[in-house]
Structure 1
Amino acid sequence: MSESSVSPLSFSAALTVSFDEAVARTREAFAAQGFGVLTEIDVTATLRTKIGAEIEDILILGACHPTFAHRALQSTRAVALMMPCNVVVRRDPEDEGHVVVEALNPAMMVDFAGDGDDAGLAEVAADAASRVAAAVAALAGA
């Protein structure tokens, strides 16, 4: 069983699949909405290597939709500070049978970078948020 939730900060889904399966499904769901993964940070491996810490599986995918990125940058270059959109895939430390996928809500761009063309930024943020929400909802529905 999968479930999803929405907050001003993020869209999330809890999946009952393996971590690797959750990562693969996340990539597919975001690709179906026009996003590519530009960066990948294996938080677990990094903390293990750098400081010897052991934590559950956490992977950060930097997702980008080129059209939305271009439109947002036309409003204000400051929005680049929020790019790419972070999508976190992490094993639930309290329930090893669940993997949580959380994606930053692009609507936050408007509050963060409101010094540009606010109407243009609000429009692209809403468009991007609807695509991110659709990707996460697809994960919850799978």
Structure 2
Amino acid sequence: MEYTIQTSVSSDFDHVVETTIDELKYDGFGVLCDIDVWATFEEKLGEEFRQYRILGACNPGLTHEGLSEEIELGALLPYTVIVYETHDGEITVSAVDPQQLVGIADNEALDSIANEVHDRFERVLASVADKLESSTEI
């Protein structure tokens, strides 16, 4: 089962992260958390790992609407967007597919919200790819 939507780009890792955050903000998402997995593994484990960031994205209006329909939805939030370096040197931006994620709740009232978030994430990923002039796989 596919549970993410993604794009891959050839660009500087930090620039991809910055562009992704900017495009999320442009489409109404705030980034509530930013976890630098590479730095955490280095500091806590003394282990090397590829560049990898986990961004917790939230759209307050859509979140309010979703929590009003399903109070336990908060256990699935914020929506996760990851940026990581692939083995071939490309940078992948991958977002959880909210249609798959919200399907767990088995509440049809959430379908329109999941579809809206899905559409916004597709726009964000397409915009990241366009701005960084690369190939997109959505």
- Is there any run of 5+ residues in structure 1 with no aligned partner, and where? 1-6
Deviations 1:33-90 (A, max 9, x none): 1001000111111111111110110010101000111111111122111111111011
1:109–1:121 CA contact under 8 A, matched in 2: no
The match for 1:20 is: 14
1:47–1:53 CA contact under 8 A, matched in 2: yes
1:103 maps to 2:95: yes
The match for 2:71 is: 77
What is the alpha-carbon root mean square deviation over aligned residues? 1.3
2:3–2:101 CA contact under 8 A, matched in 1: no
* TM-score, normalised via structure 2 length: 0.89
1:89–1:101 CA contact under 8 A, matched in 2: yes
Alignment equivalent of 2:30, drawn from 7, 25, 36: 36
* TM-score, normalised via structure 1 length: 0.87
- Is there any run of 5+ residues in structure 2 with no aligned partner, and where? 132-138
Alignment equivalent of 2:52, drawn from 52, 58, 80: 58
Describe how 1:62-141 pairs up with structure 2 within 5 A. Answer: 62-92=56-86, 94-96=87-89, 98-114=90-106, 118-141=107-130
